[in-house]
Structures are given as structure tokens and as C-alpha cells.
């Protein structure tokens, strides 16, 4: 995969280092030639120039890129590069770094951004994910603010414990994509049983997050006697006494 990264600062270099380790072809574009010598990125290709100039992007053969990452410290540059990558070169996927959270609303398809990454927001989410057991935590916003990746750590007193994935009626616009158990990822199937401490990862629409949160929340288990199961959850069938009929 060919990835063009605009901005070879700490963020851009870190991304490049990880992608190089996974054997991807990397081209970095930066205004400052001195960053080449101090980057230590062996195997990367370099282009010194202004990525907001169409001629620079043409020289980078941007049309051959599978992904363009705009990782500079200037939101204006990141937006312009993403827009040019989409409109002028037809790049399939763009990732834009958001430096100022106040500009987050602009990082969408209107500016050619497929995925916006707000580093402070992501760090906050990771902190919350580490401590907020029993609450839904958004880790990343995808697809122009319509979808997200969220995480839920199952409390040890959750009503979902003991149920299989197939027994829970997940919201229509939410998909369980992974279960992390004992630090090992599991690809979920209908027969997998939910256990306390499981970390559940979903791809969901942002509009469906509240419905997913309500389904998983301990507060949704209002009755412990089985008379009122949480909405969307099918309780495990209990064997009724033979002569205990209900006449109304």
C-alpha cells in the first residue's frame, strides 16, 4: 500500500515508522529539508515542498496513493491537502489531523476528509476507556462524523453476563466487531457468551450510540426477578414448575 504523509513532525514521523514496520510504501512531504536527516526513517521516500501547492502533489504522484495522511500542525494545511487529494487526484482514503478541537466540525467530506483524528480527544477517550467500566466510550469518529468506533467494558454485575451474542438484540445500526478478553482479541460469533470484564468493540452510527448505551447500561436491568427483561435482551429461559399455571 502506498501512503503519502504530509508533515514529518513527531506525529507524521510516528505514523510513518509504524507503517514502514508493516512493509508499506511511504512518501513524506515536508517544507523543511532538515527533517530528513533527523527523522531516522529508513526506507521512506521524501519530497521537500509545500503540500498546498498542486505542483508539489503532482510531483508526489498523488494519484497513485492509496491513503493520504495530513498530519501537520496547521489545520488549514491539513484541510487543503485532504481536499486536493480527493478532488484533484481521486485518492480513496484521507486521514486528517485536527489540532484545534474548535475546527473539528470542518473535517468532513466537504473538505475531502474521510477520517478526522483529534489527538487530545483520542487520548481522552483512551483514558476514559481505561477507567470507565460500565459506560460506552467513543474511541474514534469515522466517515464524516456519521459513524464511530466505541468500547464497552462489561461490569461483573451486568445483566448481559451469561447471554450469548446471538441472544442480544443489538441496535440495527450497531455491529459488534471484536471482544477483548484476557488481553486476547476474539472475533465474535452468535454462540460466544458474554463474560464480566469483556471489552466489547462496536462500529455504530453516532445516532445509535444512545440506544446501545441504554441496552448495555446496568440501569436497564430494572427487575432481577425476570418479569421485565432489559429491552433488546432475551433472558435465558427458566424452567417453570410443572403445576404453576397462569390463569390471568
In this predicted model, what pLDDT tens digit does every residue of 68-82 receive, in sequence order?
Answer: 999 999 999 999 999
Average pLDDT over every residue of 18-45: 87
In which residue ranges of the chain is CATH 3.40.50.720 found?
Answer: 2-117
At 248, the pLDDT band (50, 70, 90 cuts) reads: very low
Best CATH choice for the domain 132-220 from the list 3.10.129.10, 3.30.70.1450, 1.10.10.10, 3.40.50.970:
3.30.70.1450
Average pLDDT over every residue of 43-52: 94
Asked if residues 162 and 191 have their Cβ atoms less than 8 Å apart, the reply is: no
b/e map of 166-204 (b: 16 or more CB within 10 Å)? ebbebbebbebeebeeeeeeeebeeebebeeebbbbbbb
Least confident window among 109-113, 121-125, 131-135, 157-161: 121-125
Answer yes or no: is pLDDT of 115 > 90: no
Distance, CA of 207 to CA of 70 (rounded, Å) = 27
CATH number attached to the domain at 2-117? 3.40.50.720
- Residue 132 confidence (pLDDT): 62
In which residue ranges of the chain is CATH 3.30.70.1450 found?
Answer: 132-220
Distance, CA of 140 to CA of 117 (rounded, Å) = 7
Answer yes or no: is pLDDT of 127 > 80: no
pTM (predicted TM-score) = 0.60
Asked if residues 70 and 77 have their Cβ atoms less than 8 Å apart, the reply is: yes
**Residue 145 Cα distances to 117, 121, 193, angstroms:** 11, 14, 32
Percent of the chain, pLDDT > 70? 81
Nearest in space to 152 (alpha carbons), one of 207, 218, 205, 223: 218
**Residue 126 Cα distances to 4, 96, 105, 172, angstroms:** 27, 19, 21, 26
- Residue 94 confidence (pLDDT): 92
Query: Tens of pLDDT along 130-187?
Result: 556 777 888 877 766 688 888 888 888 888 899 999 999 999 999 999 999 988 899 9
Amino acid at each position: 500500500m502506498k501512503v503519502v504523509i504530509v508533515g514529518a513532525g513527531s506525529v507524521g514521523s510516528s505514523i510513518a515508522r509504524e507503517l514502514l514496520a508493516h512493509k508499506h510504501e511511504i512518501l513524506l512531504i515536508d517544507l523543511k529539508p532538515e527533517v530528513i536527516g533527523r527523522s531516522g526513517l529508513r526506507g521512506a521516500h521524501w519530497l521537500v515542498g509545500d503540500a498546498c501547492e498542486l505542483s508539489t502533489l503532482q510531483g508526489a504522484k498523488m494519484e497513485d496513493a492509496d491513503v493520504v495522511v495530513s498530519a501537520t500542525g496547521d489545520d488549514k494545511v491539513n484541510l487543503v491537502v485532504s481536499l486536493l487529494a480527493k478532488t484533484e487526484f481521486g485518492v480513496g482514503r484521507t486521514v486528517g489531523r485536527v489540532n484545534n478541537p474548535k475546527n473539528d466540525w470542518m473535517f468532513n467530506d466537504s473538505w475531502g476528509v474521510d477520517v478526522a483524528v483529534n489527538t487530545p480527544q483520542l487520548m481522552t477517550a483512551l483514558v476514559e476507556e481505561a477507567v470507565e467500566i460500565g459506560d460506552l466510550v467513543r474511541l474514534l469518529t469515522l466517515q464524516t462524523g456519521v459513524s464511530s468506533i466505541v468500547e464497552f467494558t462489561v461490569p461483573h454485575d451486568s445483566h448481559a453476563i451469561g447471554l450469548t451474542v446471538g441472544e442480544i438484540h443489538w441496535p440495527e445500526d450497531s455491529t459488534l466487531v471484536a471482544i477483548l478478553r484476557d488481553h486476547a482479541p476474539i472475533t465474535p460469533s452468535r454462540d460466544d457468551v458474554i463474560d464480566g470484564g469483556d471489552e466489547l468493540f462496536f462500529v455504530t452510527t453516532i445516532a445509535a450510540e444512545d440506544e446501545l448505551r441504554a441496552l448495555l447500561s446496568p440501569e436497564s436491568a430494572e427487575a432481577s426477578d425476570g418479569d421485565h427483561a432489559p429491552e433488546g435482551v432475551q433472558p435465558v429461559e427458566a424452567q417453570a414448575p410443572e403445576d404453576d399455571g397462569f390463569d390471568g
